[in-house]
């Protein structure tokens, strides 16, 4: 009876919210679960459920899977526009039309205990585990425990085989590992501040890394026991010069286009391909769909304005590894560059005091490069960022500090090859507004948004 009441009232709330032109991605689900705590377990679901979780890349992987499935004629239910906690997922199922064959759900790691007991995915992709917001997520092992305690034993885990924290998730479940073969840019030792997988989890000896890609991503083994990076079930050999990869599994080789020259997004693409391959999609169909895909605009855009490339790139504040990866990408892009950096968490600025400890886990040293002509820092914490840049060895004369984010565009120069606008997850609107100002200064046409 409670379920029926919850279903009626929450669907009524959903339609009322739609009637006034809102998305209703959170409230109807919250209402349903408040009335009926096991609502997620009772509501009708598609036969195949895919979960995507991990510190970084969840949204990108979900969007790629959804776009490829829909391009190949599947009806897909997803929380693409909604929250990735239990309330948002409940709202997603309330929106279902009943003809969806597959559900693709982005799932917040910390919400595992509130979701997996009621939703039993056929597959869960784990993209990676890194340090995230220290106030919310504490440490990767803390988050892994949330998943291990909640994941159903019947779920097949698709895991990043180059992330030794990731490979230990749900040890009793079936595991499928994907990996990227050795790259010319791989290192013998990590140069990053954060490396959270140094000690063998079995015998507590110091791990030996065969090579390091970044942070704890790479191949490693324990010198005193049998713990080591797993042999991959799906292995990609990547060629960034030709923007393609050879993807190997079961003695088969498929060639796929790369949708990004970022190693981070290459992992996201391979995770999506591995899932789709296990769903038995034809490799040719996957390839044809990949040729139509771009990274979602809230994550990455690139536009040439009168000879200058203007690039917006998500750089999650409070997330040291995500920002470090973006800094590395900026450093390695060819040409002379300027960077507009908006690292402040807008939500924290509104509701509370922003935590700045993450700045000292982030590799700002990567921005100390001759190709980066100027760094323009905007936002309330600009002095904190100045201090961190100084500690990274970046000359003060390269910095411009601007209290107002929107004013940062006024300090760009046109005599560079590329201008990067690095924005926080909750500041995408600011990133686009600044991009419009930059385009106006460079003499280009502005977008309406």
Per-residue pLDDT tens for 64-102?
A: 999 999 999 999 999 987 789 999 999 999 989 889 999
Q: Which of these ranges, 11-20, 235-244, 397-406, has the smallest mean pLDDT?
A: 11-20
Q: What is the DSSP letter of 187?
A: B
Q: Give the pLDDT confidence of 189-221 residue by residue, as tens digits.
A: 999 999 999 999 999 999 999 999 999 999 999
Q: How confident is the model at residue 25 (pLDDT cuts 50, 70, 90)?
A: confident
The pLDDT of residue 68: 98
Determine the Cα–Cα distance for residues 334 and 336; give it in Å rounded to an integer.
7
Residues with Cβ within 8 Å of 330's Cβ and at least 6 positions away in sequence, in order, are 313, 337, 339, 366, 367, 372, 420, 422
For 298-314, letters b (16+ CB in 10 Å) and e give bbbbeeebeebbbbbbb
The pLDDT of residue 348: 63
Whether 449 has a pLDDT exceeding 60, the answer reads no
Q: Helices in 44-169 by DSSP H: which ranges? A: 58-71, 86-95, 112-115, 134-137, 140-150
Element (H, E) at 278: helix 263-278
Mean pLDDT, residues 30-41 taken together: 96
Q: Give the pLDDT confidence of 215-225 residue by residue, as tens digits.
A: 999 999 999 99
Residues with Cβ within 8 Å of 232's Cβ and at least 6 positions away in sequence, in order, are 161, 177, 178, 179
pTM for this prediction: 0.92
Q: Which of these ranges, 4-18, 118-132, 203-217, 231-245, has the smallest mean pLDDT?
A: 4-18
The pLDDT of residue 343: 83
User: How far apart, in Å, are the Cα atoms of 136 and each of 250, 284, 323, 423?
Assistant: 40, 42, 17, 20
The pLDDT of residue 347: 65
What CATH architecture does domain 44-290 belong to? 3-Layer(aba) Sandwich (3.40)
Boundaries of every domain in the chain = 44-290, 300-442
CATH 3.40.50.720 fits 300-442, yes or no: no
Q: How confident is the model at residue 33 (pLDDT cuts 50, 70, 90)?
A: very high
């Amino acid at each position: 009876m409670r379920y029926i009441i919850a279903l009626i009232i929450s669907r009524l709330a959903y339609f009322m919210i739609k009637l006034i032109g809102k998305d209703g991605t959170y409230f109807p689900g919250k209402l349903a679960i408040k009335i009926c705590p096991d609502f997620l377990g009772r509501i009708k679901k598609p036969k195949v459920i895919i979960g995507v979780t991990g510190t970084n890349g969840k949204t990108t992987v979900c969007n790629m899977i959804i776009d490829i499935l829909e391009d190949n004629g599947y009806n897909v239910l997803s929380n693409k526009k909604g929250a990735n906690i239990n309330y948002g997922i409940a709202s997603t199922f309330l929106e279902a039309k009943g003809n969806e064959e597959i559900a693709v759900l982005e799932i917040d790691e910390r919400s595992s205990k509130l979701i997996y007991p009621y939703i039993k995915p056929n597959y869960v992709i784990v993209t990676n585990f890194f340090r995230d917001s220290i106030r919310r997520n504490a440490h990767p092992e803390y988050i892994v425990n949330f998943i291990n305690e909640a994941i159903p034993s019947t779920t097949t885990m698709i895991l990043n085989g180059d992330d030794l924290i990731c490979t230990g998730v749900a040890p009793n479940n079936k595991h499928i590992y994907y990996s990227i073969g050795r790259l010319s840019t791989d290192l013998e030792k990590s140069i990053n501040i954060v490396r959270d997988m140094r000690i063998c989890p079995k015998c507590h000896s110091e791990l030996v890394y065969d090579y390091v890609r970044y942070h704890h991503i790479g191949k490693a083994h324990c010198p005193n026991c049998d713990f080591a990076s797993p042999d991959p079930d799906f292995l990609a050999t990547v060629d960034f010069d030709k923007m393609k990869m050879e993807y190997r599994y079961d003695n088969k080789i498929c060639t796929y286009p790369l949708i990004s020259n970022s190693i981070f997004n290459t992992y996201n693409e391979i995770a999506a391909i591995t899932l789709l391959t296990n769903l038995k999609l034809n490799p040719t169909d996957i390839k044809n769909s990949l040729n139509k895909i771009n990274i979602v605009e809230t994550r990455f855009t690139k536009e040439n304005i009168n000879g200058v490339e203007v690039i917006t790139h998500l750089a999650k504040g409070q997330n040291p590894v995500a920002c470090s990866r973006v800094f590395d990408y900026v450093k390695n892009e060819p040409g002379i560059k300027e960077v507009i950096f908006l690292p402040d968490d807008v939500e924290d600025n509104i509701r509370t005091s922003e935590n700045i400890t993450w700045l000292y886990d982030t590799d700002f040293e990567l921005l100390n490069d001759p190709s980066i002509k100027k760094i323009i820092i905007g936002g309330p914490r600009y002095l904190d960022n100045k201090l961190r840049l100084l500690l990274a060895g970046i000359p003060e004369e390269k910095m411009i500090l601007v209290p107002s984010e929107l004013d940062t565009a006024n300090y760009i120069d046109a005599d560079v090859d590329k201008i990067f606008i690095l924005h926080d997850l909750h500041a995408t609107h600011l990133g686009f507004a600044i991009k419009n100002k930059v385009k106006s200064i460079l003499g280009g046409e502005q977008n309406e948004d």
